[in-house]
Amino acid sequence: MDYEVEARARAAIEQLKHRYWRACDAKDPEGFRSCFVASGGVLDFGPLGRTDPDTMAGIFRKIALATAEDGGPRILDMHHGFMPSIDVAASADGGEPTRATGTWTLQFRQVDRDKGTETQSTGEYSDVYVVEDGRWVMAECLFTPGWSVTRELTGATVTYPEVDTVPGAATAGADS
């Protein structure tokens, strides 16, 4: 496969994964959902279960948009993905590639304002990417949890920006 063709595919896939994490952190269920195939995808997020993108977007909506006792967000997340290993499959006809696989390491932090806890954890993503309607999306997204530490935030002050959630804003204009 031509180096430039493969490099374009890898860059688009990296942007896709970054949009996915950005949508998670921005509490953007529509942006989250847009990172996956229109139908038939498989997601397995360990403790959250194995399901399809629509069902997982509903689970995400319930968790990410939960409200704390003071009316602010209950859950604050921070996803950092790195060390990608992406394998772009050559097209059978020699044209643009339409399928790839990848693995990523995740460093994740979550503050639960109602429980007064912070959790830091790691894990590994194993993904299948396909081109659908001219853009890369995930057909499979499997997460294997690694280690995790949860601490109490006794005496800590947790702040967050007072902003309105705008559906799709985290991924607007960022198609690959």
State the pairing for strand pair 75-88/99-112. Answer: antiparallel
Band (pLDDT 50/70/90 cuts) for residue 98 is: very high
- Report pLDDT digits (tens) over 113-123: 999 999 999 99
What domains are defined for the chain? Answer: 3-152 (3.10.450.50)
Burial of residue 127, with CB atoms counted within 10 A of its CB: 0-12 exposed, 13-18 middle, 19 or more buried: buried
Q: Does 171 score more than 70 pLDDT?
A: no
